[in-house]
């Protein structure tokens, strides 16, 4: 099994990534840590609880609340893409209490309790992860492996021409993380999400036809992004976050990966959050593995298989 923490700004595909970690028998999800990103912070927490509920695992996994804004900048959301992040679903969480321990403290503590064993899947802005590095210089060493959804491999951005959302929102955090010495694997927006892990209408129809609580939930939470993606010429839903957890659990889904030196632009006027991925000709030492090609059909089959599981939501 893979013991892990998911650090998330829970909306849309973050929910799907949580589903993989909650239902894949390979995964041993120890905690969910929340970071400011996609939609309002409290809304993200409710989206995480909704996901725990639909998987039938409400009350089993601790949720730790983390940084409510980036390290040095104001928070910017992606509500224009995600709406509320859960397709209008909501739940009363008044009887549910997140942990008192801050997400950054939980990350530091859990990694220190079992050095070299815990994986971290970071699928939001990297604020909590960077703050854990600031707090504990041993954090990067204690984490077995860090899987990051973010950046583009010298390709297209999604929030600006140059930048992917997670790195754009907190570029100082992303820069800190790549300088910290993690064993880090990057799942970039372009080309993986934008060109390879898109679910078109046929796949979505096949998922809808499963008729399980999870497939209904999936179709609902993906509806807003589907509409947005279509409006910008992407012919289906995009799955950056669940792809990130999936390749950690099932490395055979990776067809090609390479070592790069990754750094993140914090100063540029047009390029804030741009991920400079240097592939070796620039004299820089590699600090990250970047996934370049995946088994897209295998990834789709994997998710569809999980969404077919009959769960018992409350
Ligand atoms: C990233 O930003 C969010 O919209 C998604 O959840 C993903 O983590 C893609 O740029
Ligand atoms: Ca995310």
Using a 6 Å cutoff on CB, does residue 7 contact ligand 1?
A: no
Using a 6 Å cutoff on CB, does residue 38 contact ligand 1?
A: yes
Task: Please report which ligand is nearest the Cα atom of 34.
Answer: 2
Cis, bond preceding 191 (omega within 30 deg of 0): yes
- The set of residues, in sequence order, having a beta carbon less than 8 Å from that of 178 and lying 6+ positions away, is 184, 262, 263, 264, 287, 288
The predicted structure's pLDDT at residue 79: 87
Using a 6 Å cutoff on CB, does residue 168 contact ligand 1?
A: no
CA 283 to centroid of ligand 1, rounded, Å:
31
Using a 6 Å cutoff on CB, does residue 189 contact ligand 1?
A: yes
The predicted structure's pLDDT at residue 13: 96
CA 124 to centroid of ligand 1, rounded, Å:
6
CA 11 to centroid of ligand 1, rounded, Å:
9
CA distance 278 to 186: 13
The predicted structure's pLDDT at residue 12: 95
Protein residue closest via CA to atom 10 of ligand 1: 165
pLDDT by residue, tens only, the chain of 314 residues: 999 999 999 999 999 999 999 999 999 999 999 999 999 999 999 999 999 999 999 999 999 999 999 999 999 888 888 888 898 998 888 899 999 999 999 999 999 999 999 999 999 999 999 999 999 999 999 999 999 999 999 889 999 999 999 999 999 999 999 999 999 999 999 999 999 999 999 999 999 999 999 999 999 999 988 999 999 999 999 999 999 999 999 999 999 999 999 999 999 999 999 999 999 889 999 999 999 999 999 999 999 999 999 999 98
The predicted structure's pLDDT at residue 149: 98
Q: If you write DSSP's letter for every residue of the chain in order, what string do you get?
A: -EEEEEEE--STHHHHHHHHHHH-TTEEEEEEEE-S-SS-HHHHHHHHHHHHHHTT-TTTS-EEE--SS-SSS-----HHHHTTSSTT-----TT----SS-HHHHHHHHHHHSTTTEEEEE-S-SHHHHHHHHH-TTHHHHEEEEEEE---SSS--SSSSS--HHHHH-HHHHHHHHTTT--EEEE-IIIIIIIISEE-HHHHHHHHTT-SHHHHHHHHHHHHHHHHHHHTT--SEE-HHHHHHHHHH-GGGEEEEEEEEEEE-SS-TTTTT-EEEE-STTSPPP-EEEEEEE-HHHHHHHHHHHHTS-----
Task: Please report which ligand is nearest the Cα atom of 163.
Answer: 1
- The set of residues, in sequence order, having a beta carbon less than 8 Å from that of 115 and lying 6+ positions away, is 141, 142
The predicted structure's pLDDT at residue 65: 98
Neighbours of 96 (CB within 10 A): 15
Neighbours of 192 (CB within 10 A): 29
Mutate to test the pocket of ligand 1, among 6, 11, 37, 226 (most ligand atoms within 8 A of CB): 37
CA 239 to centroid of ligand 1, rounded, Å:
9
The predicted structure's pLDDT at residue 80: 85
CA distance 219 to 288: 33
Using a 6 Å cutoff on CB, does residue 14 contact ligand 1?
A: yes
Using a 6 Å cutoff on CB, does residue 244 contact ligand 1?
A: no
The predicted structure's pLDDT at residue 280: 86
The predicted structure's pLDDT at residue 314: 87
pTM: 0.97
Using a 6 Å cutoff on CB, does residue 84 contact ligand 1?
A: no
- Nearest partner of 170 among 286, 47, 36, 6, judged by Cα: 36
The predicted structure's pLDDT at residue 82: 84
Q: Which residues have a beta carbon within 5 Å of ligand 2, which is an ion?
A: 9, 14, 123-124, 241
The predicted structure's pLDDT at residue 266: 98
């Amino acid at each position: 099994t893979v013991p892990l923490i998911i650090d998330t700004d829970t909306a849309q595909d973050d929910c799907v990534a949580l589903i993989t970690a909650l239902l894949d028998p390979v995964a041993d999800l120890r905690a969910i840590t929340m970071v400011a990103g996609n939609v309002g912070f409290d809304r993200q927490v409710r989206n995480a609880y909704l996901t725990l509920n639909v998987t039938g695992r409400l009350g089993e996994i601790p949720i730790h609340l983390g940084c409510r804004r980036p390290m040095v900048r104001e928070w910017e959301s992606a509500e224009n893409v995600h709406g509320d992040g859960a397709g209008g679903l909501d739940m009363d969480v008044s009887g549910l209490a997140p942990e008192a321990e801050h997400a950054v403290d939980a990350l530091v503590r859990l990694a220190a309790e079992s050095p070299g064993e815990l994986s971290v899947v970071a699928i939001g802005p990297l604020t909590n992860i960077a703050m854990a590095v600031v707090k504990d210089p041993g954090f990067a060493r204690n984490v077995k492996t860090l899987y990051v959804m973010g950046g583009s491999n010298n390709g297209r951005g999604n929030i600006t021409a140059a930048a992917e959302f997670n790195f754009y929102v907190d570029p100082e955090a992303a820069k800190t993380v790549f300088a910290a010495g993690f064993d880090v694997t990057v799942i970039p927006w372009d080309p993986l999400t934008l060109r390879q892990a898109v679910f078109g209408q046929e796949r979505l129809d096949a998922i809808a036809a499963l008729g399980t609580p999870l497939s209904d939930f999936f179709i609902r939470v993906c509806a807003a992004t589907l509409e947005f993606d279509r409006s910008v010429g992407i012919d289906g839903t995009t799955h950056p976050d669940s792809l990130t957890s999936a390749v950690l659990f099932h490395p055979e889904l990776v067809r090609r990966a390479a070592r790069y030196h990754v750094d993140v632009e914090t100063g540029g006027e047009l390029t804030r959050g741009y991920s400079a991925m240097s592939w070796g000709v620039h004299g820089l030492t590699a600090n990250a593995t970047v996934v370049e090609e995946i088994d897209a059909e295998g990834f789709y089959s994997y998710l569809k298989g999980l969404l077919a599981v009959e769960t018992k939501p409350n």
